[in-house]
Chains A and B, each alone.
Chain A
Amino acid sequence: MIRAELNKRSPLRVFEKSIHGGLGKGNIGVIASRHGIGKTACLVHMATDKLFRDEHVIHISFSQNVNHVIAWYEDIFKEISTKRELEAAMDVHDNIIKNRVIMNFSQDNISVEQIIRSLKTMIEDGGFKADSIFFDGYKMTTVEHDAVERLKEFAKNMDVELWFSVSPVLDGVDFDEYGVPETLANIEDVVDVLIGMKYDGEEIVMTVVKDHGEANPSQMAIKLDPKTMLISRL
């Protein structure tokens, strides 16, 4: 399959459809669930889909080691390209990873200011015109409301869309029926799109809990396949 065809058939088209054509620049999207459901895989697939469409992506992680993140991208790329029998896969690979930067913050309790400062530096001094930024495992449930507002302002100023994967920092937190931790309520008003992920005993169900201000939960026609860790059609 050639790249254009692959993009057309991507399950992410279904994803976008269920949130009115996509998140959109200047907006904040959150994917929330318990730990260990596969949010990283989900984010990496979303980011890879953007890369396949020649968009520029920054991936932010808060771990010790960027190599793990790179390995995720390699795995997901390989899954997609083999599954779809992508033509000239190596060329495509080399071409799209040019448009990806990984930024890692390993110090504890890094401030939102510092993250925003570093991102601006990357975009302005590094000349990296990001279209979207993916935050893997950001502590959304414990940050100040104000911090999220600042991120939103940043998204608007820089004309980027921001996606976050979020699990609760503390133990003993309750989750709603869609897999969203209650502790997220504090900042929910700043979030434009909220998606919950939940294991229902058979598969990982994805629900649009909030869609550009509309709070009318509906299950998406996609799921996360636990075998390949890819987003796929139901």
Chain B
Amino acid sequence: MAEFTNMRNIGISAHIDSGKTTLSERILYYCNRIHSIHEVRGKDGVGATMDSMELEKERGITIASAATNVTWKGVDINIIDTPGHVDFTIEVERSLRVLDGAILVLCSVGGVQSQSITVDRQMKRYNVPRVAFINKCDRTGADPFKVTSQLRDKLGHNAVMMQIPIGLEDRLEGVVDLITMKAVYFDGPSGDDVRYEEIPAELQDLAEEKREVMLDAISMFSDELMEAMLEGEISEEMIHEAVRIGTLSLDLTPVYMGSAYKNKGVQSLMDAVLKYLPNPTEVENIALDLDADEAEIKVSAGNEKKTVSLAFKLEDGQYGQLTYIRIYQGKIKKGDELYNTRSRKKFKVGRLIKMHASSMEDILEAGSGDIAALFGVDCASGDTFCHPSLNYSMTSMFVPNPVITLAIDPIDKKAADSMAKALNRFTKEDPTFRTYVDPESNQTIVQGMGELHLEVYIERMKREYGAEVETGQPQVAYREAISKRAEFNYTHKKQTGGSGQYARVAGFIEPNEEENYEFVNKIKGGSIPNEYIPSCDKGFQSAMVKGTLIGFPIVNVRASINDGQYHAVDSSDQAFQTASLNAFRDAYTRAKPIILEPIMKVNVEGPTEFQGNIFASINQRRGIIISSAEDGMFCTVEADVPLSEMFGYSTILRSLTQGKAEYTMEVNKYGKVPQSVSEELKKAYEDKRKAESSKK
């Protein structure tokens, strides 16, 4: 097991296509993990090592984050390459949850793009210190200076250039290191040989100027450096120390640059990772003690301590069923007994492994701070594994709700079986992918974060499980809600043969901004006996599964009961559940129910000449333009658009802008659908129900 100071857990996150995987490939290569470099969508057809899934190689995008372990200058680094596409945002979320530091990759031309903003928010959510890498400096229009100022203006980072480029675009040669004040070149066909030289004369002034800016910015993190600056005697060590302090406290983002594709600048970035990103002892992690009312407990690295670890990722890949874990405290040995605090089951650690790009290594133990994988453990992503004497839960990660649904039908019986297996697996791996069977149509419905997300799972079902399915049209995951308070007083009474059923419940439902559902018991004097109170709660909840307006789940309700009646013989759990369910449905119609739809934050970027088409396309989609920013040739339009209007937008946008504009979107909020749309949806639901009942 490595010394803590010689360990790093870092992630690589960024906007789509900014070169994360390409960068990871270089890191693997320079760390001698792989012997030749393969490009994303490369001509050799091999595809990048980290994009190991066949589908990823074909499409040239990362779908699942991949963890790997490398050694750079004696330091053990676990690296997670994450997808850029928002549909797979949960992959980024859970990676950041277990990482101690990150590389924020930016494109030198695109700069701070919409996804950079999302990723940055996620990094802030988990307090992840980061260094920035401005990639693609070989591209036409590269401007790392502009991107650095965007980091400041758009993301509010205290971003400081630690380097300046030597040449740009097709003349990119290397970088000037502003600490050592040396030019750095990367020689050889794959940039293996790092060569240090004097700074080219024409860059001397700029380098000095930028060094001053850098020193000024970092001096506030170190009194020692500040004094040394006054005396004019600055050592490299002092600078490193100040940058490190600033970075760890998230008050500073050191900026590096280069071109992963052209093999420039990667080694310097790795040096920065070692110097400035935290080791596992330098970040605070909190667990909740489930035996003590979820009291917050600090967990900290120490192999002698009792084990606390988090299963952050499940993968059913070429090697079988893997569970990736991050060990926060204690260690894990082969043969150890661990306790899963969610399922409350103990299990024995069988095979324990370490992942290296596309190969793996069996290990006997893994210590605090490390990332490893277990074989064949039955669990869900997000479970906490502890020493059997502890009952901790690592604080949960943020899981967004799925916004789109799709009905799928297996083509035959065999496909149906494989589909069930696949769905079971996928839903365990990915908390944003859900599935259920619609009780009325008897169809399997899958839900996810976007069209691409679902498309990928359908494809994986076919490839990995041989399950072929027919799919319907993707549909928006609507919600229903109430807009005013309504009372109920409902009696459920049935007398059929033997024992009857009797229950009466009275109370009210009202809108509830804070939570999806809350149950309030205001019964006094036992008009409903205590044993039947949970039955009422259950009855309400089952009513909320499917609203009566258009058959979508009801959200944001507080249901209170304040009176009722029971019968010594005829009352039962079932009777109170039925009464509550019907009471809810009865009140629901009077509570002015409304339909809510997901509203997306849409970001379109493209040449200014197409601004009119972009505006119009949003206007035609019930969109609200929030802002439009022009920066010379380029414009960025930000708008709120209902998801239901966004299907097929990529094709339309492409044709409107000769393929020159791009867009990203993510869920912003749920909003009330306008009256006309609401009527249409209700009518469609009616028709569907009628059609189904006539079939039966």
Task: Indicate whether A and B interact.
Answer: yes
Using CB atoms and an 8 Å cutoff, list the residues of chain A in contact with chain B: 63-67, 69-70, 94, 98, 101-107, 110, 114, 118, 121-122, 124-128
Residue of B nearest to A90 (CB): B513
Contact A122 B615 (CB under 8 A): yes
- Nearest 9 A-B pairs (CB), nearest first? A126-B615, A64-B153, A125-B612, A102-B627, A104-B629, A127-B619, A125-B616, A125-B615, A66-B627
Q: Which residues of B contact A103 (CB under 8 A)?
A: 627-630
**Chain A interface mostly:** mixed
20 example contacts (A-B, Cβ-Cβ < 8 A) are as follows A64-B154, A65-B153, A66-B629, A67-B154, A69-B627, A101-B625, A102-B627, A104-B629, A104-B630, A105-B629, A106-B630, A106-B631, A107-B632, A110-B630, A121-B612, A122-B615, A124-B612, A125-B612, A125-B619, A126-B616
Instruction: Find B626's partner among A102, A106, A122 (CB 8 Å cutoff).
Output: A102
Residue of B nearest to A107 (CB): B632
Q: Which residues of B contact A114 (CB under 8 A)?
A: 630
Q: A64-B149, A64-B154, A105-B630 are in contact. List 7 more A-B contacts (CB 8 A).
A: A94-B671, A102-B628, A107-B632, A118-B611, A118-B630, A126-B615, A126-B616
Instruction: Find A101's partner among B149, B154, B613, B627 (CB 8 Å cutoff).
Output: B627
- How far is it, in angstroms, between the C-alpha of A102 and the C-alpha of B628 when the chains are bound? 6
Contact residues, B582-633 vs A (CB, 8 A): 608, 611-613, 615-616, 618-619, 624-632
Contact A104 B616 (CB under 8 A): no
Contact A126 B627 (CB under 8 A): no
Q: Which residues of A contact B618 (CB under 8 A)?
A: 126
Q: Which residues of A contact B626 (CB under 8 A)?
A: 70, 101-102
Q: How far is the CB of B690 from chain A (nearest CB, A)?
A: 35
Residue of B nearest to A101 (CB): B625
Q: Which residues of A contact B616 (CB under 8 A)?
A: 125-127
Residue of B nearest to A69 (CB): B627
Using CB atoms and an 8 Å cutoff, list the residues of chain B in contact with chain A: 149-150, 153-154, 608, 611-613, 615-616, 618-619, 624-632, 638, 671
Q: Which residues of A contact B154 (CB under 8 A)?
A: 64-65, 67
Contact A101 B632 (CB under 8 A): no
- How far is it, in angstroms, between the C-alpha of A105 and the C-alpha of B627 when the chains are bound? 11
Q: How far is the CB of A120 from chain B (nearest CB, A)?
A: 9
- How far is it, in angstroms, between the C-alpha of A125 and the C-alpha of B632 when the chains are bound? 20
- How far is it, in angstroms, between the C-alpha of A101 and the C-alpha of B613 when the chains are bound? 17
Instruction: Find B611's partner among A66, A110, A121, A128 (CB 8 Å cutoff).
Output: A121
Contact B632 A122 (CB under 8 A): no
Q: Which residues of B contact A107 (CB under 8 A)?
A: 630-632
- How far is it, in angstroms, between the C-alpha of A107 and the C-alpha of B631 when the chains are bound? 5
- How far is it, in angstroms, between the C-alpha of A104 and the C-alpha of B626 when the chains are bound? 11
Contact A106 B611 (CB under 8 A): no
Q: Which residues of A contact B630 (CB under 8 A)?
A: 103-107, 110, 114, 118
- How far is it, in angstroms, between the C-alpha of A117 and the C-alpha of B470 when the chains are bound? 48
Q: Which residues of A contact B612 (CB under 8 A)?
A: 121, 124-125
Residue of A nearest to B617 (CB): A125
Q: Which residues of B contact A127 (CB under 8 A)?
A: 615-616, 619
Residue of A nearest to B624 (CB): A98
Q: How far is the CB of B623 from chain A (nearest CB, A)?
A: 9
Q: How far is the CB of B56 from chain A (nearest CB, A)?
A: 34
- How far is it, in angstroms, between the C-alpha of A121 and the C-alpha of B628 when the chains are bound? 11
Contact A64 B150 (CB under 8 A): yes
Q: How far is the CB of B26 from chain A (nearest CB, A)?
A: 31
Q: Which residues of B contact A64 (CB under 8 A)?
A: 149-150, 153-154
Residue of A nearest to B635 (CB): A118
Q: Which residues of A contact B615 (CB under 8 A)?
A: 121-122, 125-127
Residue of A nearest to B613 (CB): A125
- How far is it, in angstroms, between the C-alpha of A101 and the C-alpha of B623 when the chains are bound? 12
Instruction: Find B627's partner among A98, A104, A110, A124 (CB 8 Å cutoff).
Output: A104
- How far is it, in angstroms, between the C-alpha of A114 and the C-alpha of B635 when the chains are bound? 12
- How far is it, in angstroms, between the C-alpha of A114 and the C-alpha of B630 when the chains are bound? 10
Residue of B nearest to A127 (CB): B619
- How far is it, in angstroms, between the C-alpha of A124 and the C-alpha of B615 when the chains are bound? 9
Q: How far is the CB of B307 from chain A (nearest CB, A)?
A: 43
Residue of A nearest to B671 (CB): A94
Instruction: Find A128's partner among B625, B629, B632, B638 (CB 8 Å cutoff).
Output: B625
Q: Which residues of A contact B608 (CB under 8 A)?
A: 118
Q: Which residues of A contact B613 (CB under 8 A)?
A: 125
Contact A101 B628 (CB under 8 A): yes
Q: Which residues of A contact B619 (CB under 8 A)?
A: 125-128
Q: Which residues of B contact A98 (CB under 8 A)?
A: 624
- How far is it, in angstroms, between the C-alpha of A51 and the C-alpha of B608 when the chains are bound? 28
Q: How far is the CB of B339 from chain A (nearest CB, A)?
A: 44
Residue of A nearest to B634 (CB): A107
- How far is it, in angstroms, between the C-alpha of A118 and the C-alpha of B632 when the chains are bound? 12
Residue from B150, B154, B616, B627 having most chain A Cβ neighbours under 10 A: B627
Q: Which residues of B contact A118 (CB under 8 A)?
A: 608, 611, 628, 630
Q: Which residues of A contact B631 (CB under 8 A)?
A: 106-107
Q: Which residues of B contact A66 (CB under 8 A)?
A: 627, 629, 638
Q: Which residues of A contact B153 (CB under 8 A)?
A: 63-65
Residue of B nearest to A110 (CB): B630
- How far is it, in angstroms, between the C-alpha of A122 and the C-alpha of B618 when the chains are bound? 11
Q: How far is the CB of A18 from chain B (nearest CB, A)?
A: 32
Q: How far is the CB of A233 from chain B (nearest CB, A)?
A: 32
Contact A70 B627 (CB under 8 A): yes
Q: Which residues of B contact A106 (CB under 8 A)?
A: 629-631
- How far is it, in angstroms, between the C-alpha of A110 and the C-alpha of B629 when the chains are bound? 13
Q: How far is the CB of A55 from chain B (nearest CB, A)?
A: 16
Residue of A nearest to B672 (CB): A94
- How far is it, in angstroms, between the C-alpha of A110 and the C-alpha of B628 when the chains are bound? 15
Q: How far is the CB of A42 from chain B (nearest CB, A)?
A: 21
Contact B625 A122 (CB under 8 A): yes
- How far is it, in angstroms, between the C-alpha of A58 and the C-alpha of B183 when the chains are bound? 48
- How far is it, in angstroms, between the C-alpha of A193 and the C-alpha of B677 when the chains are bound? 44
Q: Which residues of B contact A94 (CB under 8 A)?
A: 671
Contact B629 A126 (CB under 8 A): no
Q: How far is the CB of B277 from chain A (nearest CB, A)?
A: 27
- How far is it, in angstroms, between the C-alpha of A70 and the C-alpha of B632 when the chains are bound? 22
